[in-house]
Amino acid sequence: MLILGIDTSCDDTSAAVVQDGRKIISNIVSSQSDIHTKYGGIVPELASRRHIEMIMPVVEEALTHAGITLPDLSAVAVCHGPGLIGSLLVGCSFAKAICYGKNIPLIGVNHLEGHLLSPFLEEQAPEFPFISLVVSGGHTSLYLAEDYGRYSVMGKTRDDAAGEAYDKVSKLLGLSYPGGPIIDRLAREGNARAVAFPRAYLPDTLDFSFSGVKTAVLQHVRKLSPDSSPITEHSLLSDIAASFQSAVVDVLVRKTEWAVNKTGIRRVAISGGVSANSGLRQKMKEMGAKQRIDLFIPSVSLCTDNAAMIAAAGYHRFLNKEFAGLDLNPMAYLSL
HEC secondary structure over 159-220: CCCHHHHHHHHHHHCCCCCCHHHHHHHHHCCCCCCCCCCCCCCCCCCCCECCHHHHHHHHHH
Question: How far is it, in rounded angstroms, from Cα 279 to Cα 287?
Answer: 12
- Contact assessment for residue 315 and residue 321, using Cβ atoms and an 8 Å cutoff: no
Cα 109 to Cα 22, 57, 116, 216, 292, distances in angstroms: 16, 22, 12, 37, 33
Reading the chain (336 residues) residue by residue, the pLDDT tens digits are 999 999 999 999 999 999 999 999 999 999 998 899 888 889 999 999 999 999 999 999 999 999 999 999 999 999 999 999 999 999 999 999 999 999 999 999 999 999 999 999 999 999 999 999 999 989 999 999 999 999 999 999 999 999 999 999 999 999 988 899 999 999 999 999 999 999 999 989 999 999 999 999 999 999 999 888 889 899 999 999 999 999 999 999 999 999 999 999 999 999 999 999 999 999 999 999 999 999 999 999 999 999 999 999 999 999 999 999 999 999 999 999
- Show the domains of the chain with their CATH numbers: 2-117+304-319 (3.30.420.40), 124-297 (3.30.420.40)
Reported pTM? 0.94
